[in-house]
Structure 1
């Protein structure tokens, strides 16, 4: 699949949001469990198992990137948007854009942003004075990812 670049753009406006503030990688299993509980609960209706898995993996990748490559504190927010879920991870490395790679050996890692871009209907990042937000809209309806 061709890799879509992560363009600098503001995220769409969402509603019905959930948020977390992971302090470190050790918090990711808890956030994944809580997020999955939201995805499989009555709030969103019945999502396809593959969609749930894609959303959880995408959020995990964005969170781990923020914690590994960004600057603390890291904030996570997931909101409903038309046809999908807006995943947003913010950190204090406003001067560091996301850097997807498709040229590295997959065994060396670093492929997550490209996979998210391929599975999402939109993705981007927005820097402000002291904050960077990396975001992706993951489809929940039967819509093919762009």
Structure 2
């Protein structure tokens, strides 16, 4: 097992929207609202219009599901932006654990969220505050 790189998101990132989840059932509404938010907040029109939201929604599903399953509620999903990227920050309230990249065989169920985030986003990292553990991923804007 490896550890995810410790790194806060870029300091120039501005918060656009935030969602609070207490149950996995709320994730569906967050996904729909997040897709709308990406369009409202200036996702560049063109061929990436379908690809970027799909990648962001896939990553939010994985990271928020992990936070709901393994962290302490509530899970907080925040959409941030810089001039050229969107950042997705997913936080839970279990500050005692460290995100780990587990060895996963292809047929195992689950455990792929961090690998998936690393493979389809521009960058991924994690950090903690006094009350939360946050995992973030960035995407082209």
Normalising by the smaller structure, the TM-score range is: 0.7 to 0.9
Query: What TM-score do the two structures reach when normalised by structure 1?
Result: 0.83
Correspondences of 1:89-128 after superposition (within 5 Å): 89-128=90-129
Unaligned runs of 5+ in 1: 141-146
CA contact under 8 A between 2:3 and 2:99: conserved in structure 1? no
Partner of 1:143: none
Correspondences of 1:16-31 after superposition (within 5 Å): 16-31=15-30
Q: Aligned partners of 1:112, 1:131: CA distance in 2, in Å?
A: 19
CA contact under 8 A between 2:104 and 2:111: conserved in structure 1? no
Q: Aligned partners of 2:53, 2:135: CA distance in 1, in Å?
A: 20
| Deviation, structure 1 residue 5 | 5.3
Deviates more, 1:41-50 or 1:109-118: 41-50
Query: What TM-score do the two structures reach when normalised by structure 2?
Result: 0.86
CA contact under 8 A between 1:91 and 1:133: conserved in structure 2? yes
RMSD of the alignment, in Å?
Answer: 1.9
Unaligned runs of 5+ in 2: none
- Does the C-alpha gap of structure 1 residues 71 and 16 become closer, same or farther in structure 2, counting only changes over 3 Å? closer
Q: Aligned partners of 2:8, 2:76: CA distance in 1, in Å?
A: 16
Partner of 1:144: none
Moved over 6 A (4+): none
CA contact under 8 A between 1:95 and 1:127: conserved in structure 2? no
Correspondences of 1:1-146 after superposition (within 5 Å): 6-13=4-11, 14-41=13-40, 43-46=42-45, 47-140=48-141
- Does the C-alpha gap of structure 1 residues 72 and 40 become closer, same or farther in structure 2, counting only changes over 3 Å? same
| Deviation, structure 1 residue 106 | 3.8
Cα distance per residue 1:119-140 (max 9 Å; x no partner):
1221111123332111111223
